[in-house]
Structure 1
Amino acid sequence: MDKSLKQLQLISILIHWMPNAILIGIAGAFVGGFIGSLLGLGTVTGFNIGSFLLAIGGALLLLVLYRVIKKK
């Protein structure tokens, strides 16, 4: 396969996939902060390691849920 064709296919895949992942990641950060507050893990008080980990956890949770729902 031609190198430029492979590059175009990769760009096409990224353009299709990235907006969903970005939006789910942002929403996941909010979900992570909310769940963390409910569980008493702390609140999001700015950019620190605790807030960062809560945001990552929430984003991962939403991405997993998205993939489960999308498979059905």
Structure 2
Amino acid sequence: MAVTGIISALIVGIVIGVLGRLVVPGRQSIPIWLTIVIGVVAALVGTAIATVLGVADTRGIDWIELIIQVALAAVGVAAVAGGYGRRKIR
């Protein structure tokens, strides 16, 4: 993978992760790096799902693919925030 591909994946991951975090109600006490990781994973999995459904390659902005990615990021943020907040410091 080229450097530009890595940088663009990080930028997309940041955007998807932040949008997913905004969708989840309440405060999430997870670090920003974890939000970025969740966003990158959600973007990759969302693109794969959109490809299987046949909606990944449309003219203009792929709104359905974007909705799938943000929904996956929101589920990921909610799941991780629920588990991350329950950790006990010894």
| 1:33 and 1:43 in contact (8 A); partners too | no
TM-score, scaled relative to structure 2: 0.45
Gaps of 5+ in 1: 1-15
Question: Which deviates the most, 61-70 or 24-33?
Answer: 24-33
**4+ runs of 1 displaced by more than 4 Å?**
33-38
Gaps of 5+ in 2: 1-29
TM-score, scaled relative to structure 1: 0.54
Match of 2:38 among 3, 15, 24: 24
For residues 12-34 of structure 1, the C-alpha deviation after alignment (integer angstroms, 9 at most, x for no partner) is xxxx9321111111112234456
CA RMSD of aligned residues (A): 2.7
**Structure number, greater radius of gyration:** 1
More helix by share: 1
